[in-house]
Structure 1
Amino acid sequence: MLVPLGDPDGRSAWTIGSPDGREFAVFVHDDGAVRVTDAGCPHRGGPLIEGRVRDGEVRCPWHWYRFDLETGECRTTDRHELGVYPVVERDGRWCADVGEPAPALSWSERLRAHARGDG
């Protein structure tokens, strides 16, 4: 699924939404490179666009977890990984290729995942 990035209007970070309700953060580096990630920190959901971006990483404003904007790797712990998405040009517009949403789980599947420690 392609989601248009919109116009930065002088901003270096903003959020975009997909038609299925997911939110993503858009970051513009000083060199003009654009990176798109999940909008919420995978640790506790902190708003990453409010975080500090420096040296190719974003730092969550809530608990200071640091994530590589290129790979999504958490530089604070190996327990979390940030979703990162490629930026492509389509018909003269820049878009994030965010893939398809995960299928919804039934309550039974959610409880089993929770029991396994997956959710």
Structure 2
Amino acid sequence: MRVPLGDPAGRERWTVTHEDRSYLVLDLGDRLVVTDALCPHKQNPLAAGLVRDGCLVCPGHWYAFDLATGACRNAAETPLPLHPVVAEGEMLYAEVKVEPELSWSERLRAYARGSS
């Protein structure tokens, strides 16, 4: 799914909502980084997080996510999804992978396996 990012002119960070889901866009000077707007750890809003040493630091529990890989420096099992940015003409978009909705039986099996 392509998510339009709007015009980055003069902005260092902003959020975009598309189809009931919010994304955080960060302008790092040499590139744009797009991720989910909520921390994967405890769903805290990342828009208020600090960008430091190449990481986005969640303001809720101080989890630090590498903005090049999405890896969490505090908990390897909690990566931050990063969405590639593509240009089409003068428009910028994030390519967001849409996961198929699981049935209840698939959810229960995943939970039983410990991969909910």
CA contact (8 A) 1:3 1:98 kept: yes
Q: Given the alignment, which residue of 98, 109, 112 partners 1:115?
A: 112
Equivalent residues, number: 116
Q: Given the alignment, which residue of 73, 89, 92 partners 1:91?
A: 89
C-alpha distance in 1, partners of 2:60/2:15? 17
Specify the alignment match of 1:50 in structure 2. 48
TM-score by length of 2: 0.90
TM-score by length of 1: 0.88
> Which consecutive aligned stretches of 4+ in structure 1 deviate over 2 angstroms post-superposition?
7-11
User: Which structure 2 segments of 5+ residues have no match?
Assistant: none
C-alpha distance in 2, partners of 1:41/1:117? 20
Residue 11 of structure 1, CA deviation: 3.0
Residue 18 of structure 1, CA deviation: 2.5
Specify the alignment match of 1:76 in structure 2. 74
Q: What's the secondary structure of 2:105's corresponding residue?
A: helix
Residue 102 of structure 1, CA deviation: 1.0
Q: Which amino acid aligns with 1:72?
A: G
Specify the alignment match of 1:67 in structure 2. 65
Specify the alignment match of 1:27 in structure 2. 26
RMSD between aligned residues: 1.5
Q: What's the secondary structure of 1:15's corresponding residue?
A: strand
Could you report, residue by residue, the CA deviation over 1:73-102 in whole angstroms, capped at 9, with x for unpaired residues?
Answer: 111121211100111111211111113x11
C-alpha distance in 2, partners of 1:79/1:104? 21
Specify the alignment match of 1:15 in structure 2. 15
Could you report, residue by residue, the CA deviation over 1:29-87 in whole angstroms, capped at 9, with x for unpaired residues?
Answer: 1x242100111111111111110112211000100000011110111121211100111
C-alpha distance in 1, partners of 2:45/2:9? 20
